[in-house]
Amino acid sequence: MYGFRAEGPMEQFEIIPIFSLPTGSNLLAFTNSALWMVIGTSAIIVFFFAATRRAALIPGRLQSMAEVFYEFVSDLVRDTIGPEGRKFFPYVFTLFIWILVSNLFGLFPSLPGVPHGLHTFTPTSHLIVTLALAMLTISIVIIYGFWKNGLGFLKLFWPPGLPWPMYILIPAIEVISFLSRPLSLAIRLFANMFAGHVILKLFAGFVVSLLSAGGAVMLFGIAPFFGAIAVTALEFLVAVLQAYVFAVLTCIYLNDAVHAADH
């Protein structure tokens, strides 16, 4: 009976409280979003705990995987920021892994028959979450930028070597572009996750509706079925890519903070 009830494409994003904190208020309630954050984070912790439990000279499978992640992000940070970027490596690594796992776990199908509150959920499909991560990055950029460069950080908005009339316009554009960074960073990830899941749910919804119609109409369910499979494959790509893009852009912005006064 569950199999033939199609939900609307937006229901998957609903926040459903599972239990309230002992404060009694629902303000900080443990919701399905929190549940999937905890599931994802726990999975990461278990994985890395198992991978590093016996750090061996000749790595096992888990350790090899962990080292691949490590080298990947480490190279990214070193190539983008340089040797000074070493101190940001744990942040970028945590960010990348957390977003990656959040994106990927949201693509798991829900177990049939479980209540709505336990359906798979993608925390990064909510703007507030991606915005918080983006603001965290930009806050680090601004605070570290001023701490490292002092007022020299403002040279970021004053690119050198332009003919003087350009300086009427360029700093304003630079400031606007800087301020739009957290928004673009947040909206890029959120919109990708959101749109992907909507399309996925639309295709899946078509399949369910057409199948429940019965008769010859059921045959028309084949096309959206393969569509859903294709979109699922695409979404795995997008999930990995967007985590990577978020990490890359974070590195690029951190690079500004590190090297703002250099030119």
Residue 18, SS3 per DSSP = strand
Kindly indicate which of the ranges 91-99, 156-164, 169-177, 218-226 contains the residues binding another protein, using the contact rule CB under 8 A: 91-99
Closest distance to another protein from the beta carbon of 258 (Å)? 19
Closest distance to another protein from the beta carbon of 253 (Å)? 18
91 binds another protein (CB under 8 A): yes
Say if CB 181 and CB 138 are below 8 A apart: yes
Closest distance to another protein from the beta carbon of 20 (Å)? 9
**Tokens at residue 246, please?**
């978020």
Distance between CA atoms of residues 154 and 228, nearest Å: 48
Kindly indicate which of the ranges 84-92, 152-160, 227-235, 249-257 contains the residues binding another protein, using the contact rule CB under 8 A: 84-92
13 binds another protein (CB under 8 A): yes
Quick one: 9 or 171, whose CB is closer to another protein?
9
Report 155-214 residues binding another protein (CB under 8 A): 190, 194
Quick one: 88 or 203, whose CB is closer to another protein?
88
Say if CB 118 and CB 110 are below 8 A apart: yes
Tell me what percent of the chain is helix, strand and coil, each rounded to the nearest 5: 75, 0, 20
66 binds another protein (CB under 8 A): yes
Contacts of 9 (CB under 8 A, 6+ apart): 197, 198, 201, 202, 205
Torsion sign, CA atoms 171, 176, 181, 182: positive
Say if CB 131 and CB 185 are below 8 A apart: no
Sequence letter at residue 230: A
Q: Which spans of this chain sit near another protein (rule: CB under 8 A)?
A: 10, 13-19, 26-34, 37-38, 40-41, 44-45, 48-49, 51-52, 55-57, 59, 63, 66-67, 70-71, 89-91, 93-94, 97-98, 114-118, 123, 125-129, 132-133, 190, 194
